[in-house]
Amino acid sequence: MSYNVIFEDVGLKDYKETWDYQAILFEELKRSKEAKAGGRLLSGSYNPGTLIFVEHPSVFTLGKSGSENNLFLNNAEIERKGASFYRIDRGGDITYHGPGQIVGYPVFDLEVLKIGLREYVSLLEEAIIRTLKEYGLEGSRFSGGTGVWLDPDVKGRARKICAIGVKASRYVTMHGFAFNVNTDLSWFNYINPCGFTDKGVTSLENETGIKQDIEKVKSILKEMLKEQLNLEWIQKEGR
């Protein structure tokens, strides 16, 4: 049985605005789940999941277990560069979001999907890996952390192309992944990406040598996520 999901591509949108929006969806899905468990919902009225695709203006985000020592700029320097900084409630350390990067926020109920958190992260990684194959690249996992990498076990060559950091409560998820497509990689010089000091960061544009059609990449990735997580796209009510 597939999982009904509303897909929303919200374009370029402020990080905090998008965070607040997915937090609303997250709490609504948890409340709907609790109401169903308590017998207060009619059969078939359970809230669907939501998958958000977004690009953010330049922003650094630090996970709840991360260290601010992995950010090399102070608040004034961040502001001068036209960026922002947030400490947030996902797992993982520090990362950068910016234009040319596909950020995905799945607000899903893992119990409906019948998977645990570890398998969920693995399936997100697999969707990225299969998207990279469409461009002739061999993405893989790294035993020391989440996300998708190229040459993760080759000293001096390991580079991350997609970061993953999620939050889950009552098996409902938020936050997600950041896939570098045409991202300006120079921003990563201001951080230890994901807390690593000995590994690099890359993008699809950097690996192929060609600026990519990000809408095409989104289309491929959306289909890979559908296949890996057995999703069924549905229309948002009111549309």
* Cα Rg of the chain, angstroms: 18
Q: What's the CA gap between 139 and 162, in Å, rounded? A: 10
Candidates 112, 127, 148, 194; catalytic one: 194
Q: Label residues 188-213 b or e (16+ Cβ within 10 Å = b).
A: bebbbbbbbeebbbbbbbbbeeeebe
CA distances from 113 to 3, 82, 108 (A): 7, 40, 8
Question: Is-catalytic flag, 194?
Answer: yes
Name which of 15, 178, 10 is nearest 86 in CA terms: 15
CB 202 within 8 A of CB 160: yes
* Per-residue CA distances from 90 to 23, 39, 172, 174 (Å): 12, 31, 13, 8
Q: What is the largest CA-CA distance in the chain?
A: 56
Which of these, 202, 178, 220, 190, lies nearest to 88 by C-alpha position?
178
* 91: Cβ contacts below 8 Å, ≥ 6 apart: 63, 64, 65, 165, 166, 167
User: Rounded distance, CA 214 to CA 45, Å?
Assistant: 35
Q: Which residues are tagged catalytic?
A: 194
